[in-house]
Structure 1
C-alpha cells in the first residue's frame, strides 16, 4: 500500500509540474494584439455564433450539389467554426474553400486528415511514407522535414490544422485501424518521431494534432465500427499510451483528438466512450497533463460514439466532458440546440463556453485568419507536387528500408559472376519497378507459373532467388498478409535455393512465416511505392547502405529496434539531380539538343546517361532504331560502341598486365611480340603507341583486298555463304571469311610503312597488335577475357561481343545498310570491317553495350579502379594511364584514353577539367568521365544508319554541346 502511495505521489507531482510549466500553445508572440482581436470578436458574437464556433463539419470537394447546399445552409444558419475536408481534388477544394469562406462572417478554421500528406484525402497530391515507415528511420531531422513539407502543402491549400501526428503506440499487431499509421511499438521512438514531425509542421505554420487520446494502439477493434476496449490499468496507460502526450504537450502541441474508446481503468461507467468522459478529457488531459490547446473529439459519426445516445446528446456530452470542438456531428442543428438549451438552463456556464470559443478564436488568429486571404489558384497543382518532395521521399526510403536477416553477409550482393538470379513476384500488386531496377545491376529473370512443379523446375537453373512480396500501396489499411498458397511456395523456394525475401508491406507480414531458417536474407521495405521498390533494389546490390531499424517486433522472429546496417559497395545508384548538386531544370535542356539530332536525321536514335558522384541523374532515350522503323529506343537496347571498345575491353586488360609486371609503358613491341624484332616497329613502346605518337598508319582497309576486282563484292576466293572449317569467320549473316585470313591481318600491320614524321596521328593499329599479345598471353580470346575479368563481375550484362547469337535482334540497334563490303543490313554484327574480319572480336572495335553498362565501366575508372566491393585496378594504375605524356609535343592523348583539347578544337566542350578522360566511336558513340566534378557522360547512337556519310553529330557538335549543358547544370 505504501508503495502504491509513493507511486501516486510521484505521478501527481510530475503531472502538477507539467501543468504548471505548460504554456498555451495557441498564443502568439503578439499576444496583446491577439487578445484584443479575440476579446473584441467574442464580445460581438451572439450565443448562436459562439456555440457554432464549437463545430467542425465534414466537406468533400467531390460532393454533389445537394450535399454542397446543405453545407452552405449549415454555415449560414449555424455560423460553424470550421470545416474538415475529406475526399476530392486540390483545385476543386481550393475553389470550394474560397466560396465557403466568403459565406462565413468569421473565417472558418480548416482542418484535414493528412497524416502522410494531402494524398490521404485528395487525388493529384503528394503521398509521403506512412508513419510505420518513418518509424524505421534513425535520423529524426528527416521526420522533422517531413512534417514541415506536409505542413507547407496544407498551408498552400488553405488548411490550418492537420490531424497528425498519430501518436498511438502500436503494440498490438492485430490493430485493424492504426498499424501503418503508427510510428511503431516503442514509446520512446514514437514520441521522438511525433515530436520532430510536430515541430516541422508547426514551424510551417500549420497546427498539429496528436491522436487518438488516450491511446488507440493496443486494441484489435476499429472505433469506426464499434467501441474498442483498452483493458490495461492506469499505471500501464500512464507509462505507455500517455507518454507521447506528456512530451508533446510540453513542447507546444497545438491540439489533441480524443478517441472513442472504452477504458475501464480511466472511466468506471461501462461502455462509456473516452471522448465523453470528463475524467479522461478534463481531469487527465487538461488538469493532470496540463494541456491548454484545442481539444477535438474524434468524428462523432463513428460507431464508437454514435451508438452511445440519441442525436445531439453526444454533442452536449462531449462538450461537458471538456472537448472544445465537436468534429463531424451527426446533426449540427440538433447539437447546437442542445448545447444552447443546456447553457440557458445553467448546465453550461458562460466561463465554460468562453473558454472553448476563445481557444478556437486564438487558433484562428494564430494561423492568420485575422487577415484572411483566399487560396491562390495559380500554380496550385505544381506547388503541391514539388521536386523537393521527391527528394525527401527518396531520402526517407533510403533511411527506412531495413535488413533484418543477412546470413553469411549475403547482402549487399558481391561476386556477381558466380550468381544466377531469378525474381519471383508474390502478392497482388506490381513489382515491375523492383524488377527493372534489379536488372540494372545483374541479369535477372522473372519466373512465373501457376503450377508448383513447373515453377520449381524452372528455378533449378538459378542459384539465387529474389522474392518480392508486393501488396497494394494505395492506403495503409490494405491487406498485408501472405496467402496460404504463397506461404507453401515460399517454403519450397527457401528449402532449395539461396533466397532474398523483400517484403514491400508492413513488417507484421513476416509473422505468418513459421520458420525463417532457410531464408538467407530478409529485407523489409515497408511500402510498395515505385521509389521503395527502386531503392530496395539499389540496397540489395550495394548502391546505397542499409540504415533502417524495425519500428515493431515481428512475432518471435525479430525484436523492435533490430536492423543490420551495411555499407554501400560503390555501385552506381539512381537519384534526382538535385541530390548531387545538379539543377534538373537546366539538365532538361539536353532533351531539346538530343531531339534536334534525331529530328534533323543526324542519327535515328540516342541513348543518353549522366551520372554524378556515383548516382545516375539523367537516363533517357530518343528516337528509334531506324528512321522508318517502329522500334523506339529502350534502355536495354544495345549499340555497337565502335572505338569505345578500346577503353572498355583492351585497355583494362592491358592495365591488369601492367600491374602484374608483365608489361610496362616502356615495353617495346619487340619485347611483347617476338615477330616484331626485325620489323620497323620493334622500337615502338606501349606508351608512344597508345598515345597515338608512334608513326603508325591510321588504318588499313583490310576488307578491300578481299573484294572481287571487277564486281567489288566479296570474292569467292575469300568468302562462302556457309560455314566450314576453312571458312569459319562470320563477318555478317551468311557470309564467312577464310579462316586463315586472320593471320594475314597482323602481317599486313607488321609490314606496313611508318609515317614520315612523328606527330599525333590517331591509329587503330595498336589495338590489333595488343589483341594478339593479350590473347597469346592468356591463350584465350579477347571477348572471353573481357567478359570474365570485367563485364561479368561488374554486372555489365548488356556488354558483349557478337550479340547476334545471344540477344534478340529486337534489342540490338542496327548500324548500317552496307553497300560496299557485306551488302546487307549490319545488325548484331560489328560495323567495323577489320573487327568483322577478326570474327567480330577486335581490340579496337566489336563491343556492343547500353549506356548503363558503359557508365559502370567508366565509374569504375572514376573510382580509381574500385566498383561494387571489388578492386579491379589500382589507383596508381588509373593515374598512370590517365596521363598526357606528350602534351609538350601538342599531343593531348593519354595512354589509351582520349583527353581534353590543348587548344581551341578537340573532343570535349572545352569546359571540362584536364584530368578528365574518355573516347568516341565512329558509329556516333561517346563517353567521358571527369574526376574533378565526378561526372560520367555516355552518348550512344547509330548515326551510321542507313549510311555513314557525313558525320553530322560531329559537325554540329551535338555530343559536346550536351556535355556543355551538363556542366552548366552543376550548381555545387
Structure 2
C-alpha cells in the first residue's frame, strides 16, 4: 500500500465527508471492542454486510469458527500465539483477504496480541457508514506495505493502547515487560482532544456509547467540526482496506485454507527436555514402545499415527522390556487423577524405561511448578483436537519439525527447555503442501476400483509420497473374493521380485560400502564352489545387471517330484481327468503328483527341517543342491536376460562376506532401525500370517492356499528366504526404505548407506541395458516396452513383482509410488492387472497431479 494509494484515499475521503450526516460520522469513528466471533470460515465471503448496519462485538466465544465446513476448528488464541510466525501470517493474510472481500474493514495493529473479529450483525442503525471491523496482529517488518495508521482510544476519555487487559477473553500469564506492548500512562484526555487529534474511539458498549455521543453533539456539548480528522482517517482506512490490491494473496481454495489451518497447528506443537537429558531426537527405532492412555478422549489418534512410525507391542511386556512409554494426558484427565501420582506409579513399575508426557490442552493447567523428576521429555500443544494429537505423534518421530522458540507467556519455565528437531522421517500430510493435486489423485480410486470390479485383484494398497510427505496411503477391497475381510493399511503382501531391491539390495549396498566385495571381482572369489565351473569368471557386476549368461530360471519345484509315479506327462495343453489343474492359459498339470520321499515329508525333523508350506518340509541338503544346480546349468552368452538365478547367487555371496543370514542382516541393519517392522521373511513364523493377503490356491505343488508363506516355488524350497523373492510387507514400511534411498542413504538422522552409493547403484551402466545395478529403470526408447509410466524420468528406479506389486522412486520429482496387490489369488495365471495397465495408469495419474516443480 504505497503513498499513491493513500493520496487517492484522502481525495476520496475529502469528497465523501461533506455528504455525511452526524449519525454517519459517529458510526465511522466508533469501533467495537476486539473479541472472538463464531462463523464458518467458508461462509465469511457470503456475509451480507449492509452499509446501514452497525458493528456489535461478540466476545468470549473461544471455539471461534467451530468446524462448520472445515474438518478442524479455527485455532484458539494460544495456538495462534505459539505457532510459527510464517503460519500465523498465513492465517492473518487469509483473515484479512476474506473479510476485506466481504466489505469488512481490516485494521492492522502491532499491539493487538491475537486475532480479534467484529462482524456486522445485520441490525439497522442510523449510522449509514458504520464500520464492520477485523482486528489482526501486525508486525511492521512482516509486510512490504506502508500501512496507514490511526490511533484508537477507549470511550469516554481513557487512552486505550489495546493492552491485554482490554481483551477479557484472553487470560495470558504476564512474564515481565513484554516487548511490543506499549505501556501508556493512564492520563485522562477529553473526548474533544481525542477527536481533534484524529483518533478513533473503541467501545465496550456500542449502542450505549453511540447514543451518548449522539446526544452530546445534538445538545451542543461537542462541536461537529471536531470530527473532521477522525472521520477522514476512518474513511481513508475504509478505502484502503477494500482496495483490490490491498489483498495479500489470491483467494484461497478450500484445500488451501485447510492447509493454512494445518500449518498453524503443526507449528504450535513444542518438544521439551532438560539440558541434561538426551532422549530426543530418536535416530533409530529399534526399541519397544508402550502407551498409557487411560481416560483420554483423543489419545488413540496419537497411537494410530505413531503406529505409522513404530509398531506398538501387541501385548503387555515385562516391565524391563519397554524402552519408551508415552503418557498421554490433558487437563480433563489429570483433574480426576493427579498426574504426578501417575508418573510416580509408572516409574515404580517401569524403572528403567524412558517416559515422555504428551499433553494436549492449555499448558497453564500443567500441575507442575518445576520439571518432574520422573519425566525424560514432554510434547505439548495448546489445542486438544484430534488432528493435534496426530501432529504430536509426528513431532515425536521427526515427521514434523519443532522450534526451540516457545513463548514464556504460555510455557513459563519450560520455555528454556524447548528444543529444535529437524524433519528426518516421513510426514503424513496433504497433496497440496507438496505441489500435487488431490482432485487428480482422486482418480486413483476409480482405477483401483475398476481393477477390483474386473477381478484383476481382490484388493490392494496404494501409497504416494512426495518431498518426504505421504499424501495418499489407502487400502482397497478385500483379502479374497469371498469379501469377508477388508484390506487394512497394516496388512502385508507377498512382495515377490520387489524383494530384489527391498530385501537383497540394501544388504548388497551396505556390504559394498563396507568394502566386503568389489563389482568386477569374479564370483568364485566369494563362492569357492564356483571355482571349478564355467561360472567362475562371472562378475558380481554381471549378476547385478542380469548380464551373467545364466538362464532365466530353473523349475526346482518339479525336480522334487517322483516322475516315475506319474500317469502320463507332467503337463498337457488340454484339460482332462488326468490333467485337471490349470496352471496357465492352455496348460494343465497332472493330478497324480508324488514327491520324492527322500526330499519331502509332512513332518518336520532334523533332516526335513526346511519349511516349504504348512505341513510341507524339505530335506535341508537339497538347498545346497539347488545352488549347485545353478552353477551346473547351461551358460549362455553374457548379454542381458532377466534372471532370478543372479539374485539367488547374490544372496549366497552377501551371506558369505557378511557372515550373517540375509534376513537377519536386512532386519538388523535396516528394517528394525527405520521402523519397518512389517518387512519380514516368513511372516508365519512370527504369528503374522493372518495379516498377509493370500496368494495362490496352489493345488499342484503345495496342495493349499498360501497365506503368510512365500508364493515363489524356488524361494519356498529355500525356506522362504531367497535373493529374488520371499519378502513380505506393507506399503507404509516400504515407503520408509524407499525414502532412505531417496535421501541418499539417510533416514531418521542416521546414515545407512554411503552418500553416493544409492545414486551409483540406481544409475544405468551398460548401453542397451536399461537396468541399474540390481534396480529396474524405465525404458527411454519409445520403440521398446517399458515397465513404468512414460512420464517417469530417466533417473527413476524401482521394481515390479509377479504377485502384483510395484515400487518406484523418481528423484527428479522427489516421488515415491507403491502398489501392492495379490492379483495371483486364487490363480497365478490371472494377468488382468497387466492387461488393464492398472499399475502404470495409476502412475500416470500421479505424474499428472504435479502442479508445482
**TM-score scaled by structure 1?**
0.72
1:623 to partner: Cα distance:
2.1
Summarize the Cα distance change of 1:676–1:507 in structure 2 as closer, same or farther, 3 Å threshold: same
Q: Does 1:833 align with 2:713?
A: yes
Q: Partner of 2:139: helix, strand, or coil?
A: helix
- Kindly report which structure 2 residues correspond to 1:541-620, keeping only aligned pairs within 5 A, or say none: 541-552=397-408, 557-559=413-415, 563-568=418-423, 570-620=424-474
Summarize the Cα distance change of 1:405–1:845 in structure 2 as closer, same or farther, 3 Å threshold: same
Match of 1:492 among 345, 360, 367: 345
Q: Deviations over 1:54-80 (max 9, x none)?
A: 88999xxxxxxxxxxxxxxxxxxxxxx
Residues 30 and 202, structure 2, Cα contact 8 Å, conserved in 1: no
Equivalence for 2:118:
none
Question: In terms of mean alpha carbon deviation, does 674-683 or 709-718 score higher?
Answer: 709-718
1:514 to partner: Cα distance:
5.3
Equivalence for 1:135:
81
1:963 to partner: Cα distance:
2.2
Summarize the Cα distance change of 1:133–1:50 in structure 2 as closer, same or farther, 3 Å threshold: closer
Question: What is the CA–CA distance in structure 2 between the aligned matches of 1:202 and 1:840, rounded to whole Å?
Answer: 67
Q: Deviations over 1:773-815 (max 9, x none)?
A: 3334445432222111111112111111111242444432111
Question: What is the CA–CA distance in structure 2 between the aligned matches of 1:422 and 1:210, rounded to whole Å?
Answer: 56
Q: Does 1:753 align with 2:634?
A: yes
Question: What is the CA–CA distance in structure 2 between the aligned matches of 1:348 and 1:530, rounded to whole Å?
Answer: 55
Q: Does 1:739 align with 2:718?
A: no
Question: What is the CA–CA distance in structure 1 between the aligned matches of 2:694 and 2:111, rounded to whole Å?
Answer: 57
Residues 908 and 960, structure 1, Cα contact 8 Å, conserved in 2: yes
1:920 to partner: Cα distance:
0.9
Question: What is the CA–CA distance in structure 2 between the aligned matches of 1:670 and 1:52, rounded to whole Å?
Answer: 94
Summarize the Cα distance change of 1:200–1:245 in structure 2 as closer, same or farther, 3 Å threshold: farther
1:147 to partner: Cα distance:
0.7
Match of 1:297 among 203, 213, 226: 203
Residues 147 and 199, structure 1, Cα contact 8 Å, conserved in 2: no
Question: What is the CA–CA distance in structure 1 between the aligned matches of 2:152 and 2:418, rounded to whole Å?
Answer: 30
1:753 to partner: Cα distance:
1.6
**Matched residue pairs, number?**
789
Q: Does 1:700 align with 2:700?
A: no
1:205 to partner: Cα distance:
12
Residues 132 and 551, structure 1, Cα contact 8 Å, conserved in 2: no
- Kindly report which structure 2 residues correspond to 1:1-12, keeping only aligned pairs within 5 A, or say none: none
Q: Does 1:930 align with 2:815?
A: no
1:385 to partner: Cα distance:
6.4
- Kindly report which structure 2 residues correspond to 1:671-820, keeping only aligned pairs within 5 A, or say none: 671-707=525-561, 709-710=566-567, 711-713=591-593, 715=595, 717=597, 718-755=599-636, 757-820=637-700
Equivalence for 2:585:
none
Equivalence for 1:258:
none
Question: In terms of mean alpha carbon deviation, does 83-92 or 401-410 score higher?
Answer: 83-92
Residues 814 and 942, structure 1, Cα contact 8 Å, conserved in 2: yes
Q: Partner of 2:809: helix, strand, or coil?
A: strand
Q: Partner of 1:422: helix, strand, or coil?
A: strand
1:850 to partner: Cα distance:
0.9
Equivalence for 1:36:
15
Q: Deviations over 1:797-836 (max 9, x none)?
A: 1111111242444432111222322222211111111111
Residues 778 and 786, structure 2, Cα contact 8 Å, conserved in 1: yes
Residues 195 and 229, structure 2, Cα contact 8 Å, conserved in 1: no
Residues 162 and 208, structure 1, Cα contact 8 Å, conserved in 2: no
Summarize the Cα distance change of 1:648–1:367 in structure 2 as closer, same or farther, 3 Å threshold: closer
Residues 78 and 410, structure 2, Cα contact 8 Å, conserved in 1: no
Equivalence for 1:15:
none
Summarize the Cα distance change of 1:169–1:157 in structure 2 as closer, same or farther, 3 Å threshold: closer
Equivalence for 1:897:
775
Summarize the Cα distance change of 1:530–1:579 in structure 2 as closer, same or farther, 3 Å threshold: same
Summarize the Cα distance change of 1:574–1:115 in structure 2 as closer, same or farther, 3 Å threshold: farther
Q: Partner of 1:790: helix, strand, or coil?
A: helix
Question: What is the CA–CA distance in structure 1 between the aligned matches of 2:481 and 2:427, rounded to whole Å?
Answer: 33
Q: Deviations over 1:158-198 (max 9, x none)?
A: 5445899983699xxxxxxxxxxxxxxxxxxxxx9932399
1:594 to partner: Cα distance:
2.7
Residues 201 and 208, structure 1, Cα contact 8 Å, conserved in 2: no
Equivalence for 1:508:
364
Q: Partner of 1:648: helix, strand, or coil?
A: helix
Summarize the Cα distance change of 1:51–1:672 in structure 2 as closer, same or farther, 3 Å threshold: closer
1:241 to partner: Cα distance:
9.9
Equivalence for 2:139:
196
Question: What is the CA–CA distance in structure 2 between the aligned matches of 1:507 and 1:155, rounded to whole Å?
Answer: 34
Q: Partner of 2:625: helix, strand, or coil?
A: helix
Match of 2:839 among 953, 959, 963: 959
Equivalence for 1:644:
498
Q: Partner of 2:414: helix, strand, or coil?
A: coil
Match of 1:148 among 84, 87, 93: 93
1:468 to partner: Cα distance:
2.8
Summarize the Cα distance change of 1:775–1:135 in structure 2 as closer, same or farther, 3 Å threshold: same
**TM-score scaled by structure 2?**
0.81
Question: What is the CA–CA distance in structure 2 between the aligned matches of 1:284 and 1:517, rounded to whole Å?
Answer: 58
Residues 909 and 964, structure 1, Cα contact 8 Å, conserved in 2: yes
Q: Partner of 1:558: helix, strand, or coil?
A: helix
- Kindly report which structure 2 residues correspond to 1:14-25, keeping only aligned pairs within 5 A, or say none: none
Question: What is the CA–CA distance in structure 2 between the aligned matches of 1:392 and 1:110, rounded to whole Å?
Answer: 28
RMSD of Structure 2 on Structure 1 (CA): 4.5
Q: Deviations over 1:696-722 (max 9, x none)?
A: 111122222334535444537144434
Summarize the Cα distance change of 1:962–1:343 in structure 2 as closer, same or farther, 3 Å threshold: same
Residues 116 and 131, structure 1, Cα contact 8 Å, conserved in 2: no
- Kindly report which structure 2 residues correspond to 1:829-908, keeping only aligned pairs within 5 A, or say none: 829-887=709-767, 890-904=768-782, 905-908=785-788
Residues 402 and 422, structure 2, Cα contact 8 Å, conserved in 1: yes
Residues 641 and 846, structure 1, Cα contact 8 Å, conserved in 2: yes
Question: What is the CA–CA distance in structure 1 between the aligned matches of 2:797 and 2:344, rounded to whole Å?
Answer: 51
- Kindly report which structure 2 residues correspond to 1:449-464, keeping only aligned pairs within 5 A, or say none: 459-464=319-324
1:112 to partner: Cα distance:
6.4
Equivalence for 2:273:
405
Q: Deviations over 1:16-57 (max 9, x none)?
A: xxxxxxx99x97733222332232132xx7x6x777788899
Q: Partner of 2:408: helix, strand, or coil?
A: coil
1:462 to partner: Cα distance:
0.8
Q: Deviations over 1:590-640 (max 9, x none)?
A: 333333222222222221122222222322222222233132222211111
Summarize the Cα distance change of 1:169–1:161 in structure 2 as closer, same or farther, 3 Å threshold: closer
Summarize the Cα distance change of 1:759–1:206 in structure 2 as closer, same or farther, 3 Å threshold: farther
Question: What is the CA–CA distance in structure 2 between the aligned matches of 1:347 and 1:823, rounded to whole Å?
Answer: 104
Residues 683 and 708, structure 2, Cα contact 8 Å, conserved in 1: yes
Question: What is the CA–CA distance in structure 1 between the aligned matches of 2:147 and 2:718, rounded to whole Å?
Answer: 67
Residues 38 and 64, structure 2, Cα contact 8 Å, conserved in 1: no
Question: What is the CA–CA distance in structure 2 between the aligned matches of 1:782 and 1:762, rounded to whole Å?
Answer: 22
Equivalence for 1:539:
395
Q: Which runs of 5+ in 1 are unaligned?
A: 1-22, 59-82, 171-191, 247-264, 268-278, 301-311, 320-325, 327-335, 372-381, 448-454, 472-478
Match of 1:390 among 258, 282, 293: 258
Summarize the Cα distance change of 1:134–1:118 in structure 2 as closer, same or farther, 3 Å threshold: closer
Question: What is the CA–CA distance in structure 2 between the aligned matches of 1:413 and 1:242, rounded to whole Å?
Answer: 37
Question: What is the CA–CA distance in structure 2 between the aligned matches of 1:849 and 1:365, rounded to whole Å?
Answer: 61
Residues 356 and 375, structure 2, Cα contact 8 Å, conserved in 1: yes
Equivalence for 2:513:
659
Summarize the Cα distance change of 1:348–1:684 in structure 2 as closer, same or farther, 3 Å threshold: same
Question: What is the CA–CA distance in structure 2 between the aligned matches of 1:427 and 1:856, rounded to whole Å?
Answer: 32
Q: Does 1:423 align with 2:288?
A: no
Summarize the Cα distance change of 1:162–1:618 in structure 2 as closer, same or farther, 3 Å threshold: farther
